[in-house]
Amino acid sequence: MYIITQDFVDRLAAEGYDLWTISQWTEWLKHVPSLETAANRLAVAFSDARLNGGIGLRLADAIDSYADVAEQEIAASADQEHANSSWQRITPEELNQYHVAPCYFDAEGFLFHLPAFLIAELTGKHDHDFIRNNLLSVRQDQNWIPLLNSQQRDALVEILELLKYHPGFTDRPKQLNDQIARLKLELL
């Protein structure tokens, strides 16, 4: 949960959560407007992102399902039908259905789907922890980073910097800092 309101913090208190937990979420609440602004910047930065022949949701699912070559070709064809579409047309239902897809994306596929998964998670519409499992994962191939333009890179760094204050990431400063460093390294 990222976009919270004072009602959320009040419910924690009413449900008897400890003062430390309540204080962590109260502190995070101060950063929510900045996160909403950063998510909007991310959407603008990635507005022109296209699949460009990369692996899409359906092909990734076919690979995960050990589909044969013919089935994978059908899935790839279905993805390419949407190749000129905006990532903004991908529904949260599709993201949740194909939640393992990022594990199979190539650089172009990851870059195209990144804003859809990230914004869906930040707005509470994706249930499978894309940030931890994919964006911050050392297992995830980082070959998509060189494809970022400076506006996209800056928007991602801004979001990751804000996540340092989120109660769910207080145990992950190294992962956040390492990914920020990888993103900034590409600027050199």
Where on the phi/psi map is residue 5: left (φ > 0), alpha (ψ -120 to 50), or beta? beta
Phi, psi of 16 (to 5 degrees): 85, 20
Would residue 169 count as lying in a domain?
yes
Has residue 137 got a pLDDT over 90?
no
Would residue 25 count as lying in a domain?
no
73-92, pLDDT tens digit by residue? 999 998 887 767 889 999 99
Q: What is the mean pLDDT of residues 21-31?
A: 98
pLDDT given at position 82: 74
138-180, pLDDT tens digit by residue? 666 789 999 999 999 999 999 999 999 999 999 889 999 999 9
pLDDT given at position 159: 98
* Residues in contact with 143: Cβ distance below 8 Å, sequence separation at least 6, in sequence order: 106, 107
pLDDT given at position 186: 63
Q: Are 55 and 141 in contact (CB under 8 A)?
A: no
Would residue 12 count as lying in a domain?
no
pLDDT given at position 140: 66
Q: Residue 59 belongs to what domain range?
A: 31-185
Q: What is the mean pLDDT of residues 110-124?
A: 96
Q: Are 122 and 72 in contact (CB under 8 A)?
A: no
Has residue 15 got a pLDDT over 90?
yes
Would residue 165 count as lying in a domain?
yes
Would residue 1 count as lying in a domain?
no
Q: What is the mean pLDDT of residues 173-188?
A: 86
Total domains present in the chain:
1
Would residue 10 count as lying in a domain?
no
Q: How far is CA 23 from CA 4, 8, 9, 33, 134, in A?
A: 14, 12, 9, 18, 28
Has residue 21 got a pLDDT over 60?
yes
Q: How far is CA 60 from CA 70, 115, 156, 187, in A?
A: 14, 17, 24, 30
pTM above 0.85, yes or no: yes
32-48, pLDDT tens digit by residue? 999 999 999 999 999 99
pLDDT greater at residue 53 or residue 162: 162
Place of tokens 């993201």: 95
Would residue 7 count as lying in a domain?
no
Would residue 67 count as lying in a domain?
yes
pLDDT given at position 187: 60
